[in-house]
Structure 1
Amino acid sequence: MTKDMTMGNPVKLIITFSIPLLIGNIFQQFYNMADTIIVGRYLGVDALAAVGSTGAMAFLVNGFVIGLTSGFAVLVSQKFGANDEEGVKKSFASSLILSIIMTVVVTVISMSSAKPLLMLMNTPDNIMKDSLSYIIIIYAGNIAIIFYNMLASILRSLGDSKTPLYFLIIASILNIVLDIVFIVNFHMGVSGAAYATIISQSVSAILCALYIVKKFPILKLKKSHWKIRKRYVQNQLRIGIPMALQFSITAAGAMVLQGALNNFGSKIIASYTAASKVQQLVMQPSVTFGVAMATYSGQNLGAGRIDRIKEGVKKCIIISIIVSIASSIIVILFGASFTKMFISGNDLEVISYSRHYLNTVSLFYIPLGLIFIYRNTLQGIGESFVPMMAGFAEMVARTVVAFTLPLLIDFTGIALADPAAWIAACVPLMITYYRRINIIMKEKQINF
């Protein structure tokens, strides 16, 4: 079911759109956490470190995919907001064609570069074999990741945030069951966790495709829609490539941080892995608001309702600040308890480092939340260059801090790398949003 976000109370629209999306994101994090929990508790600290050491590499590809497919969907949301049904169909067909090409290119490049990247990040010898086995399987399943994200982005661009939720719930449950079967019963090691993830994502992609065919006549394509249209491809790549590069640059910064982290050994890597999984969970409200604002701003730009974009951003910022403060309190009070889920026995050293990391970064959740709002709103209105450069600023800040502060303040320097990156990204995004939205408002007044 489509949802028009160009009319009605902005706060109500954003929240009602965000709630199913938030639940879906949390379920997605749960099935990502299931890998980590089962690996950590059944296979030990080294296996947990092996899976954790590939996190930045997986994000390098996943982030690129999410950015590109989200960029494809921006054009769909703008056409939908302008009531251009033929434009929606043409842009959807263009998204499918580009995604097929992307699947081939991304899979070949990622699989061939997996081992060199692990070596470049100084992956310890004792976890190298498991790390490579895990990430190769994840990369081989890129087709599932690409097509789920593309189809889910299209559904959300039309205002349907509930359907991807239902399919993620199914995938989450399936992933946990397969984790237990493959790791505990079949003794497949970390490879079992990777296979469980890919199979689950494949199921969610197939369900999205079947649902679109059956329930969305606006996306029903004819032979004429499959014609490659230069203007559509150019517009989608113009928005999608900078969005993809922005995620990839952020991922590259995370890989640099992982490289610095790997010098500390398996215990520290496992601590960071456990803590980062907790952080990813509490970040989901911010991620959700960002996705909601991309759809909201895209549709309202298409409808020429710039005033609604400004109002929606203002209200979403207030909500985000409140949620960020609440998240910080929860992490400080209960973060250590959450990390124990990932560790077999009672490894006090791992728990201590995890607690220290979470207590440090939780003080900076407000700028983290603002990043998602400003970045996604800018992308929704077609501004993609500055979000990409903000990702570059984020990478530079993370790299500088990760390789300097640990020399002075040890692990605390690693913990401060992420907050430094968030602040470096937030400032240019905030300045650009207010400058860009004022320019659009003036252009609209001149046209009238």
Structure 2
Amino acid sequence: MASIKKMFKIDMLHGSLWDKIPLFALPVAATVILEQLFLASDLAIVGHFSGADNTIAVAGIGANIPIIGLILNLFIGMALGVNVVIANAIGRKDRLTVTHTVHTAVVMALIVGVAVALLGEGIAAPLLDSLNVPDDVLPSAVLFLRIYLLGLPVIMLYDFESAIFRSVGDTRMPLKVLIVSELVNVILCLFFVAVLDLHVAGAALATVLANAVSAVILFRLLMRPQRYIQLQVKAIGIHWDCVRSVVAIGLPAGVQSGVFTLANIVIQAAINSLGTNAIAASAAAFNLEMITYDVLNSFSQACTTFVGQNYGAGQLDRCRRIFKIALVEDIIASVAAVFLVFSFGPFLLSLFSPDPAVIELGMLRLKMIFFAYVFTVLYENMSGYMRGFGISLLPAAVTTVSICGSRLFWIFAVFPQYHDFYWIMMAYPVSLAVTAVCIFVLLLWYRPAHRFGGTSQKLAYQN
């Protein structure tokens, strides 16, 4: 049998880290960005081929963006638990835990996906109604969401399968499969909407089928022989110790992402009170922000996975180096992002709206948020470092309270005093700075590499 080292796309336990961390991180960023573009392609196709009802159809899909974002963030956070548990077991050379976690992850993904889908089907209409979706748009929005929810089991299965591949350093395979899936989505969406005239139902159905394609392809790839993470259908089942491990790490991360979304909905409501230009400017800038954030956040995910393997192998000095290198490279990426915004921001915003007032407000938002990304880089990498040791609940709780608490306080206590776009935007750098300080204090207090020192370590909550 080939050595474990040869089976991994990226050897996290040996050699240089400066090249391996970005080689891991950038495909992760591209995968997350592409996953978010599924709805963008649906919107574009429906907007062009739905005839006289195109505005209502586009609004019907657009009304679901916050809800779908909430679900995807929850799933991606849960998948991080799979990643960390397997990476740590690999570092400890615990082949049995790797095998059990791989097979448990498949069952967990399907069960949780079905459970969330059933819950969503029951509350779809009242949930959208509570978001003040206009009456003429509500039927299309509910129809799209209910069809989309049918695909949640395969969406979560894909996310868990991707996490399995990433745990052994293979970040390119999930990206390649998702590219194929996106092409399938575009082709099916064009067929269902432009040819069969199914409007939002066709777009939702295309998305479900395309996600199923990606999940099935990764499933088949995991079944290939002589893989350290090989999946065997007859071995699929629940191992409760693995469930507890995945939930202990993944659930806090998923809930943290979900609460972020809820806090941002409150900020969006404040922006809505300032009129059309503010809404349009924020929407345009938000698209650029999310792409940048996905790139920056991918380094913290790399930090988590690399630390997970090396902590399992007892290489604590290397764990510290991983954190420092990931942080430095992420800061370089954030500086590059600020440079690009100053150089091309107005042009990129003009692609969404040529209105000078919208571009001016959009640039104000971009400048304030992009300069604050240094705080994002700090707290994300510190949190990612701790998650690699299995410490997930504490950083998630601190981050949630810091960001959400400070943003809600700002919107309800400070913004009413000024009622200006600038003062809404200040909620972002203030909350990010507060969070970075709090996570830094937590890291100094916890000192995971010192607290859990040893030769070969299980995850922190297992000690």
TM-score of the superposed pair, with normalisation by structure 1: 0.87
Matches of 2:191 and 2:350, distance apart in 1: 23
The one-letter code matched in structure 1 to 2:445 is: R
Pair 1:22 & 2:29 matched:
yes
Q: Does 1:202 align with 2:209?
A: no
What number of residue pairs does the alignment pair up? 445
Q: CA deviation at 1:218?
A: 2.7
Aligned to 1:387: 395
Matching residue's letter, 2:453: K
Aligned counterparts of 2:182 and 2:393: Cα–Cα separation in 1: 34
Q: Would the aligned equivalents of 1:65 and 1:244 in 2 still touch at CA under 8 Å? A: yes
Structure 2 residue corresponding to 1:88, chosen from 79, 86, 98: 98
Deviation at 1:446, TM superposition (A): 11
Tell me if 1:246 matches 2:253.
Answer: no
Percent pairwise identity: 25
- Distance, in Å, in 2 between the alignment partners of 1:421 and 1:56 is 21
Change (3 A) 1:429 1:200: farther
Q: Distance in 1 between matches of 2:43 and 2:437?
A: 33
3-state SS of paired residue (1:71): helix
| Matching of residue 140 in structure 1 with residue 147 in structure 2 | no
| Contact 1:328–1:363 (Cα < 8 Å) also in 2 | yes
Taking the aligned partners of 2:172 and 2:456, their CA distance within structure 1 comes to 37
Contact 1:10 1:308 (8 Å CA) reproduced: no
Cα deviation, residue 213, structure 1: 0.9
Out of 289, 292, 310, the position equivalent to 1:282 is: 292
Contact 2:124 2:145 in 1 (8 A): yes
The structure with the greater share of residues assigned to helix is: 1
CA distance in 1 between counterparts of 2:280 and 2:138 reads 14
Give secondary structure in 2 for the equivalent of 1:10.
coil
Work out whether 1:401 is the aligned partner of 2:410. Answer: yes
Show the counterpart of 2:433.
423
1:377 to 364, 380, 385: 385
- Aligned residue type for 1:402: I
Task: Tell me which moved more, 59-68 or 408-417.
Answer: 408-417
| Aligned-pair CA distance for 1:296 | 0.4
Q: Distance in 2 between matches of 1:41 and 1:376?
A: 41
1:168 aligns with 2:175: no
Which residue does 1:4 correspond to in 2?
11
Residue 46 (structure 1) shift = 6.9
**Counterpart-to-counterpart distance in 2, 1:15 and 1:378:** 19
Give the aligned residue type for 1:363: F
**Cα displacement string for residues 48-94 of structure 1 (whole angstroms, at most 9, x for unaligned residues):** 56544432211221111111121122111111111111221011122
Code of the aligned partner of 1:238:
A
What letter corresponds to residue 19 of structure 2 in structure 1? K
Larger RCO (CA within 8 A; separation ≥ 6): 1
Give the match's secondary structure for 2:224: helix
Aligned partner of 1:64 in structure 2 is 74
| Structure-2 residue corresponding to 1:359 | 367
Q: Distance in 2 between matches of 1:115 and 1:404?
A: 32
2:81–2:250: 8 Å Cα contact kept in structure 1? yes
Give 5+ residue unaligned stretches, structure 2.
1-6, 458-463
**CA contact 1:64–1:247 (8 Å) conserved in 2:** yes
Task: Give 3-state SS (helix, strand or coil) of 2:14's partner.
Answer: coil
Q: Indicate how the Cα distance of structure 1 residues 371 and 36 shifts in structure 2: closer, same or farther if over 3 A, else same.
A: farther
Is the 1:406–1:412 contact (alpha carbons within 8 Å) kept by the matching residues of 2? no
Q: Report the alpha carbon displacement of residue 260 of structure 1 after superposing the two structures with TM.
A: 3.6
Structure 1 residue 145 displacement after superposition:
1.5
Query: Could you say which residue in structure 1 is the equivalent of 2:305?
Result: 295
Q: Report the 3-state secondary structure (helix = DSSP H, G, I; strand = E; otherwise coil) of the residue aligned with 1:382.
A: coil
Distance 1:216 1:131 in 2: 46
Kindly state the Cα deviation for residue 241 of structure 1 after the two structures are TM-superposed.
Answer: 1.9
Q: Could you tell me which residue of structure 2 aligns to residue 323 of structure 1?
A: 333
Structure 2 counterpart SS, 1:11: coil
Code of the aligned partner of 1:8 = G
What is the CA–CA distance in structure 2 between the aligned matches of 1:184 and 1:415, rounded to whole Å? 40
Pairing 1:35-50 to 2, within 5 Å after superposition: 35-38=42-45
SS at match of 1:354: helix
Aligned-residue RMSD, C-alpha: 3.1
Alpha-carbon spacing, 1:445–1:180, altered in 2? closer, same or farther (3 Å): closer
Please tell me whether residue 152 in structure 1 is matched to residue 162 in structure 2: yes
Pair 1:120–1:223, CA change in 2 (3 A): closer
Q: Deviations over 1:158-212 (max 9, x none)?
A: 1111111211221233334444444555554444443343332222111111111
Q: Which residue of 1 aligns with 2:320?
A: 310
Change (3 A) 1:329 1:35: farther
Contact 1:36 1:342 in 2 (8 A): no
425-434 or 216-225, larger mean C-alpha shift:
216-225
1:310 is displaced (CA, Å) by 0.8
Contact 1:31 1:175 in 2 (8 A): yes
Check the 8 A contact 1:38/1:342 in 2, yes or no. no
TM-score of the two chains, using structure 2 as the length reference? 0.85
Distance 2:448 2:36 in 1: 38
Deviating more after overlay: 120-129 vs 204-213: 120-129
Change (3 A) 1:443 1:82: closer
| The 10-residue stretch of structure 1 (304-313 or 392-401) with the greater mean CA deviation from structure 2 | 392-401
Shift of residue 13, structure 1, vs aligned partner: 2.0
Query: How far 1:380 moved relative to its partner?
Result: 1.8
Which has the higher mean CA deviation after the structures are superposed, 231-240 or 379-388?
Answer: 231-240
Match of 1:440 among 426, 443, 449: 449
| Distance in structure 1 (CA, Å) of the matches to 2:253 and 2:403 | 14
Counterpart residue type for residue 400 of structure 2: G
